[in-house]
Structure 1
Amino acid sequence: MLASLYGLTGLVLRDQSAVLELVFAAMLAAPLIWLSLTDLHGQEIPDLAALGIVVVACIVLVSQSTPIVPHLVAGLAILALFWALGEVYFRAKGHEALGIGDAKLFGAGIFLLGPPFIPDLVLLSSLGGLLVGGVSTLRTGIQPKGIPFGPFIAYAIFILFFIDPIFL
C-alpha cells in the first residue's frame, strides 16, 4: 500500500521532462518505505534507512552539481538540534516523544533537500502526524498513546523532493 502511495505521489508531482528525477525518486522511496514500515511495526527507525537516504542525497547532489557542504552542515545541525530537543523532553517528562531515529531522519532529509526546506519538512511532517492523530481520536474517542513519527517525516521528504521550498 505504501509503495502505491509513493508511486502515485511521484507520478503526480514529477517534472514531466525529468526522467532522472523518477529514477532518483524510486531510489529514495525504497529506504523511506522500509523505515516507515519498520517504525510502524516496531517503533524504531533503522540506521541503514537513514544512511540510504544520505547515499541517495549524495548521488542527487553530485548529479546536479549542487554544493554538498551547505546541505551537510544543515543536516547535521538539524540532527543535533532535534536530538537535543528530544533528550531534553525525555529528561523532563520521563518518556520519549522525538527519538534519535526521528532526529536522524530529519537530518538526512535536510541533507537531501537543503537548508531552505527546514520549515517545510517540519511543518508537513507535523501536519501529517496531527491529522492522523486527530482522525484516530475522533474515530475511537481515545487519544492515541504514541504514533510513530517516522512515516510522516519520510512521506514529507518524498513530497518535498519534487517541489520548491514554500517558505522562501
Structure 2
Amino acid sequence: MNPDDFRHAIGHFPTGVAVITTTVNGEAHGATVSALSSLSLEPPMLIVCLKDTSRTLTAVKQSGRFLVNLLAEDQADIAAHFATRDGAKLAPTEPGKLPGIPGVLGAIACEVDSMVRGGSHIILMATVTAVEMASAGRPLTYYRGRFGGFLPALTLVKPSD
C-alpha cells in the first residue's frame, strides 16, 4: 500500500479541527488535530491521536490532562499556527490552569486514562471532566489538505443552539 494513495483517499473524508493544549511547569503547549472522536457517553470519554514525536504529546504525558479547543471556521490561521513544530506557541499560563484559545466554539477538559500506539501516532483515551460551549458559530473543517467552513445541506434533528 502506497502511503500517498492512502493520504489521498482519506483526504476525501472531511473532519473537524481542534487544538489540543496543556501546560507543564507553567509552560503551555498546543497542537492542531483532526483525529478526534467521542468514545463514550457513560462515562463521557473521547479519543485524540497525536504524532508520536509531538512536543505536545510529551507535555500531555507529563501533565496527564489537556483541553480540546474546538475551532470556529474563521480560525484557520490558528490551526495553521499550531500545526507547526517551530517556536513557542502559547503564552505561559498560571499554575494549574489549562490554556484556552479565545473565540473557539467550545472547550472540553480531559484527563488521560490510557494510551496506545497506532502506527506513527499515540491514541489518547481520556475522560471528559468539564465542557464549556463558548460561542455559537460554524466549525472549521479539514478536507483534501485544506481548511474550510461547513454549510449544512439537510437538518435531520433540531440543533440545540
Scaled to the shorter chain, the TM-score interval is under 0.3
TM-score (norm: length of structure 1): 0.25
Higher helix share: 1
TM-score, normalised on structure 2? 0.26
